[in-house]
Chains A and B, each alone.
Chain A
């Protein structure tokens, strides 16, 4: 079996995006040339995207080119997921605590070596407190209070 190159994988993704917008644009009113509707330009641009990605797909299948390798997916996924969890925590624990948790995970992810955990704790606490003072207290960004905080009160 021939290995599929990066070009083909990438173009498949954009093909899907193009189809998605093309169908969406088609379902919106296309209008007439005399009075183009809301779906007119989306369909036009989506067709362009589809045409080009088909071209890349064919070319990518004929000559696979380079194959993706040496990518660490794990730390990146942990990072993205922890930010999304942060969004949930924010509503529950408030800015200060949830930022501490997020930053601890992040620093622990980036640090290496022996005193990894204590150092991550230290940096996370510092970031959370300074961040809270700067953004919440001084700049008055209205972060959610957090259900937990309200309960304690």
Chain B
């Protein structure tokens, strides 16, 4: 394994002026999106995906990834200064970050969030580099039965980790799979569920679905809560945390990085979950848990580190196995497909420039983000002053143009609006969109591998349990399911505790 050669190639790719520019644009937009409440990185990525059709796959992935980890940085700013999370992964940062701001320590809070993110980002990129390659070697031996089992395990864990109800999450997963089957059946060439609508023959696009669920639905939801945002007026002072701050924070940052990275690898383990787990861990580890919620710097350092690490963690299964584990990864997966790159164990050997270019760009992006965020903080505070009533119509406008531009047809806009309304109602009725999006993206792969397995075995389901790897994966999935029903009571108690923090 020629690590240094590879990483050197990666940096050569990243340092090409064009890619450098896209990395910067990605980080910049990401920070902007992170700072603005009302739209999250997923909505932004799906709006911007059509723009990347014309640029190279490497540049496009660098740009889109930049938006995601950039948003993790930007989200903390809003949480700390306004007590409103800029995006979901910064919810817990509000608890102690805002309190720190009220005590006149907004500067160090922003500083530790940025430095913690930087350290965690760097750590997790290194871990990503060392873990993906061997895992993809291992996955090369996977056949259709293994992939079927892997997707079943992935979806089981994903629904297990769902915040609301596992049954609803399973329903959403089934619905996502069903949506994936609209269009031409790849094995027989028959059209399915199109009902004469020509726009449906190629299947429903991931972009109108994602824009609807994460863009339009968010606008509709924000119409209910016409809350006024009040920015906490404070002198930001300097960003450098004191010696004592560092002493308090280095352990949370380390733990947060590790927790975040491994949670990111697990299906359904997104940045939001990582930040919650990190916060709970810090509170438990602390000798003064009573300080949490009253401006403890550990409560900012840990979660902000872990949400950054989680994004890089999610890259491991995406690049090694071709399995996205979060909505963020699902959109990168879709972006790769749009550019004609098949995600899977062959991606790294066949397109080393994409993987290593992305890894190198993430090192660099983390440095850029420090520069974008800390010295320019004044500008981001100004951005926060843009009222929602101007922002929301504009977000909707961008969604419409984005959906239209993807295929130059208004049909996609109608599809987007449909999923916007559906997504809004789903939020109201406590259904989560994540399992649906992931099932939708994995749907074709799942169907092909399952049907191929059954063909291989002559219609015998034993093929899934007679091969050691797929047997192991299925047993794990069964264990997860069983543990859900066994530990259901405890989970509920735990949930109550979590909501109280």
Contacts and interface: CB of A to CB of B under 8 A. Distances in A.
A5 B389 CA distance: 32
Nearest to B187: A38
B401 A131 contact: yes
A32 B185 CA distance: 16
B223 A79 contact: yes
Say which size band chain B's interface belongs to: 35 or more
Nearest to A76: B220
B58 to A, nearest CB: 21
B261 interface: no
A55 B389 CA distance: 41
A7 B165 CA distance: 12
Interface stretch (B89-97, B124-132, B416-424): B416-424
A142 B405 CA distance: 8
A79 B396 contact: yes
Given A48-B174, A83-B417, A110-B392, A56 B429 contact: no
Given A38-B190, A56-B167, A131-B397, A80 B405 contact: no
B214 interface: no
Interface residues of A, number: 60
Q: Is the interface of A mostly helix, strand, loop or mixed?
A: helix
B404 interface: yes
Nearest to B406: A141
B276 interface: no
A10 B187 contact: no
A41 B450 contact: yes
A34 B455 contact: yes
Interface string B486-497: 000000000000
Given A45-B174, A107-B393, A131-B401, A80 B421 contact: yes
26 contacts: A6-B428, A10-B431, A28-B192, A29-B190, A33-B454, A33-B460, A33-B461, A37-B188, A38-B185, A46-B174, A48-B171, A48-B174, A53-B171, A56-B168, A72-B223, A76-B220, A79-B396, A80-B420, A83-B400, A84-B417, A107-B393, A110-B392, A111-B389, A135-B401, A139-B405, A143-B404
Given A76-B421, A102-B397, 4 more contacts: A24-B192, A90-B410, A107-B390, A127-B397
